[in-house]
Amino acid sequence: MYVKPKEFYDEICISLKQKQLTKKAEGMLILIAQRANTRLSYENPMDREDCIAFALLDLFKYWDRFNPEKTTNAFAFYTQIAKNGYAKGWNKLHPGKYKGTISLTGKGSTDSEGIYSI
């Protein structure tokens, strides 16, 4: 099971009116944090768990920042918060490890298949 955008939007709107997350909205935020992270790769599985925890922290901290008058795409809004949380967690776990570089392949290899850092 995954989050249906319309159903998620409705739950967030209910939560905003109540000024408290519904249990269903809480579960959906947890699913977003766990599932949006599946495309990222980690050498250490604990790093994945830590980054998900940072994403969850941000999702629950900033859940009430969504403005349904500006957009109906709650899914994209909260997915971006989760992604920012992953990055925040990674930077906390590995400060300066990749400072000043951008990986274009995600593999980190140095063979002649392309440019790997800028």
Distance CA 25, CA 11 (A): 6
pLDDT digits (tens, 9 = 90+) for 64-96: 999 999 999 999 999 999 999 999 998 898 887
Q: Which domain holds residue 21?
A: 5-93
Distance CA 93, CA 72 (A): 34
Position 10: which residue type?
D
Binned at pLDDT 50, 70 and 90, residue 47 comes out as very high
Q: How many structural domains comprise the chain?
A: 1
Nearest to 55 by CA among 36, 76, 42: 36
The pLDDT value given to residue 115: 45
Nearest to 52 by CA among 32, 66, 68, 26: 32
In a domain, 59, yes or no: yes
Distance CA 9, CA 15 (A): 10
In a domain, 87, yes or no: yes
Note whether 12 and 60 are within 8 A (CB). Answer: no
The pLDDT value given to residue 105: 55
Q: Dig out the tokens for 61 from the structure.
A: 């901290």
User: Comparing 96 with 59, which gets the higher pLDDT?
Assistant: 59
Binned at pLDDT 50, 70 and 90, residue 42 comes out as confident
In a domain, 101, yes or no: no
In a domain, 42, yes or no: yes
User: Comparing 40 with 71, which gets the higher pLDDT?
Assistant: 71
In a domain, 117, yes or no: no
